[in-house]
Every structure is written in C-alpha cells, then in structure tokens.
Amino acid sequence: MSIWSYIGTSVRNIVNISDDVDTVKASQTIRSIVHFRGPNAWILAFAIIIASVGLNVNSTAVIIGAMLISPLMGPIFGVGLGLGVNDTTLLRSGLKNLVVMLVISLLASFLYFLISPLKLVNPTELLARTNPTIYDVLIALFGGAAGIFEMCRKDKGTVLSGVAIATALMPPICTAGYGLAHFELHYFFGALYLFLINTVFIILSTYLMVKYLRFPEVGAQDEAKTLRNRRAISVFLVLMIIPSLWSAFVLVRNNNFTQRVDSFVAANRTLPRSYIYDYKIDTRRGGKVEIFMGGEPLNAGEKEYFLSAAQNAGIRSDQVVLREQSYNGEKASETEKIIQGFYDRAGDELARRDAQIGLLNRQIEQMKSEEIPYEQISREVRSQYPEIGKLYLAKGAGVPADSLGREQRCVLVVAESAHPIRPERLERLTDWLRIRLNDSTVVVLNPR
C-alpha cells in the first residue's frame, strides 16, 4: 500500500460517521422535545429570568448558567427535521412551539425588566446583543450542525450544552424584553434580529445535516414543490444575511479606525512645542477623531506635517479635527495650566525616581561585590586547618577605648577548636584570609 493510499484510508476512517449515528433514534428524540408544555414551559421561564438578571448585572457567568438549563433547542431542531424529512405535521408543530417559546421568553424578560430597579449606566452585556454580524451567522450555522450531530450520535456527550452557550439564543430574547420594558426600539429590533439569525441558521444547518445523514423521509417527494421551497428558503436566507454582512463590515471598519487612531496618537503624543492631552473617536459615518492639543498652536507647516503623518497612519485629513488652545501667559485656560502642571510634576517625579532607582542599584551592586563567600571560605579554611571545628565570619566595626566615637571597620573571624591554635598558624591564617578576602582589616580570634 502506498503512502497516499494509507493516508486516504486513515482520513476516511477518521471522518466516517456511519457507524456512530442512529438517525431513527435521533428523529424520535427531536420529536419528543419539540413541545413546550408543563415543566418545559416553567423551566424556560425560570431560565429567562436568570438570564435577564445576568444581563442586568453584567454577569457572564449567570448568563452561561441560564443558557445551560434552557430548553430552547427542541422546537428549532423540530422545524429543521420537519423540513428535511417532508413532515408537515412536525414542521407546523415546531413552528407553533417556536412561537410559544418566543412569547414565554419575551413575556418573562419584559416583566423582569419592567419591575427591576437596577438601571445600568453602561449595560455592555445588553448592548452586545443589539448589533448582529455575519460572525453570528457562522456561529449559528456550525453550532446547529454540531447540535444535530450530537443528537444522532449513539454515545451522547456534552455537545448540546456547548451549542446552547455558543449559539446564545437566550440573551437576545432577554435583551428584546428589556427593549420592550423600557421602550428602547434599538435594543428590541437589534436583539430580535440576532435571535432570528440564530434560529434560522440553526434550522438551516439542521436541515442540511438531516439531508446529508439521510434521515428516513415521511412525506412523498414533490419535485416542483421542493424546488419552490428551496427557492423561497434561499431568498429568505439572503435577506437575513445582507444586514449582518453590513454590520460585520461596519464592525471591522470601526475597529480598524480605532486601532489606527490609538497608534497614531501614541506615536505623536508629544510635539516640539505642544502635546496631545486627549482625543475622542466617533466611528459613525466612516469615523472621525477629535484631538485636543495644549501648548503653542501649530503653525501652517507643523499642521500640514501633522495631518500628513495622520494620513500615513491611514487617517484622512478630513477625519481629523484639531482643538488647539494656546498656552501663552494669561491667555492660557485654567484647564491647560492644570494639565501642563501635571505634565511638569510628572516629569520631575519620574526624574527623581529614576535617580533614586539608579542610586539603589549602585548600592546593591556594591553590597554584592563586598559580600563574603561564607561557605566557600569555611570549606577552604577547614581543608587547610583541620583542627578548626567551627568558623564564624562577620563584618563589623571596632571602637577603641582611647578613641571613642571613631569607628574602625573590620572583618571578624572566630575560629573554634578543641585545642588552642599555635600562634604562628593563627598568624598564617590571618594573613591568608586578608589576601583571600582582599581586606586588610581581618581579625582572627581563637577562644581556646
């Protein structure tokens, strides 16, 4: 067998799913979770309340927890399966329960946000669900495909929980309820559109996977009707995708413009006679940046050079608005004087700290250079003077009795031994230590 044949066989074995799927059981499972009644309806309402609380307090963990317990995927899979196997009864039931699910969810979130006293100044989790893009389409499409594969797999795992989190069906409904409760139409329509994108493309991926896995057909095939349905579905999908493509384009454009402005301002924060002390970015209508400058006003040449540098950074001159304020004597505004004072004090403080850090570094280096290698010296001494049992080394200072107040630095060495060390050996040890430590102040004591 050639290497290419071996690779081809290995790849086919890896991607083969025929031995691990059970379409009959998957169809029965989906049909059993389509209906919203009894416990399912209550669980959905409770999950919606939990998700609404998470959105209200900007808690991602709470939102994820709500998505894990919500039974939202049943009717959506039911609609996709009904389309795929030509089961009009299942299709109608899935659509009806999808509407019931939407009504319960909107009502629960509407009532919560209507009575909630908490009003966030910057509701980032809510705002994140009002501008769907093509990336949400991709998440729903591949998330739905993973979900239907999990339904068909003989050995069930935790994929459905991951699909519930990734496709994020609940937060948009809760955000739409918030929009209704506070009459914020931007929130309502944006979030509802995101929910429809998620729902429609999960249905589409379910339909495609049902066809690919060849679920058993229920209704008879009508080629003309099937063709009309496919055309209608295609037109509907295109109409759903177009706004998301535009949103994705705007998102990428705004992100790129913000990055260019941040890089440009960082590189040109300080100019020869002026400085940038603030800037504001407006990403609407292609983007615009308002730059606030202090110091002396730019002359014509400096302004032309500044705008040219902005253009080189990818920012057109018509996108730059300069706000200059003079810093000349009494004409300077109080705000600019305060800002300039901050700059001056910050510069002085940085210079002072740099000098202090340099001094400390030098002191550390000096201390390291003067450090005594205690262990090494002890080993060397004991190898030459085996009669020494213990050796103590310390840096200190001596103050002679006849010259009180005049310190004399010294290195004190105490050599303990069982018997007194002969004077000539003690003197030789002292000389050796002075040479070894390069310090003439070494004093050796032998208590015996």
Phi-psi region of 314 (alpha: psi -120 to 50; beta: other; left: phi over 0): left
pTM: 0.58
Q: What is the pLDDT of residue 357?
A: 87
The contacts of residue 96 (CB under 8 Å, 6+ apart) are none
What is the Cα–Cα distance from 295 to 275, expressed in whole angstroms? 6
Q: What is the pLDDT of residue 164?
A: 66
- CA nearest neighbour of 83 among 209, 172, 198, 180: 209
CB 150 within 8 A of CB 29: no
- CA nearest neighbour of 109 among 181, 42, 167, 204: 181
Angle CA 3–7–13, to nearest 5 = 145
Q: What is the pLDDT of residue 338?
A: 61
Q: CA distances (Å), 153 to each of 85, 147, 157, 269, in order? A: 19, 10, 9, 59
The contacts of residue 213 (CB under 8 Å, 6+ apart) are 17, 21, 23, 148, 152
What is the Cα–Cα distance from 362 to 354, expressed in whole angstroms? 12
pLDDT, one tens digit per residue, over 59-70 is 888 888 888 887
Q: What is the pLDDT of residue 129?
A: 63
What is the Cα–Cα distance from 67 to 51, expressed in whole angstroms? 7
- CA nearest neighbour of 49 among 33, 65, 73, 36: 65
- CA nearest neighbour of 214 among 143, 295, 285, 152: 152
pLDDT, one tens digit per residue, over 99-121 is 988 999 999 999 998 888 877 65
Q: What is the pLDDT of residue 407?
A: 64
3-state secondary structure the chain: CCHHHHHHHHHHHHHCCCCCECHHHHHHHHHHCCCCCCHHHHHHHHHHHHHHHHHHCCCHHHHHHHHHHCCCHHHHHHHHHHHHHCCHHHHHHHHHHHHHHHHHHHHHHHHHHHHCCCCCCCCHHHHCCCCCCHHHHHHHHHHHHHHHHHHHECCCCCHHHHHHHHHCCHHHHHHHHHHHHCCCHHHHHHHHHHHHHHHHHHHHHHHHHHHHHCCCCCCCCCHHHHHHHHHHHHHHHHHHHHHHHHHHHHHHHHHHHHHHHHHHHHHCCECCCEEEEEEEEECHHHCEEEEEEEECCCCHHHHHHHHHHHHHCCCCHHHEEEEECCCCHHHCCHHHHHHHHHHHHHHHHHHHHHHHHHHHHHHHHHHHHHCCCHHHHHHHHHHHCCCEEEEEEEEEEECCHHHCCCCEEEEEEEEEECCCCCHHHHHHHHHHHHHHHCCCCEEEECCC
**What tens-digit pLDDT sequence spans the chain (448 residues)?**
578 776 777 776 676 666 677 788 888 888 888 887 778 888 888 988 998 888 888 788 888 888 888 777 888 888 888 888 888 888 888 889 889 889 999 999 999 988 888 776 566 666 666 667 777 778 888 888 888 888 887 766 556 666 666 667 788 888 888 888 888 888 888 888 888 888 888 888 888 888 888 888 776 566 677 677 667 777 777 777 777 777 777 778 888 888 888 888 888 887 777 788 888 888 777 788 888 887 778 888 888 888 888 888 888 888 888 887 654 444 445 555 566 666 666 667 777 888 888 888 888 877 766 677 777 888 888 788 888 888 888 877 766 655 555 667 788 888 888 788 888 888 888 888 888 888 888 888 887 6
Q: What is the pLDDT of residue 393?
A: 81
- CA nearest neighbour of 447 among 391, 379, 384: 391
What is the Cα–Cα distance from 156 to 180, expressed in whole angstroms? 39
What is the Cα–Cα distance from 288 to 320, expressed in whole angstroms? 6
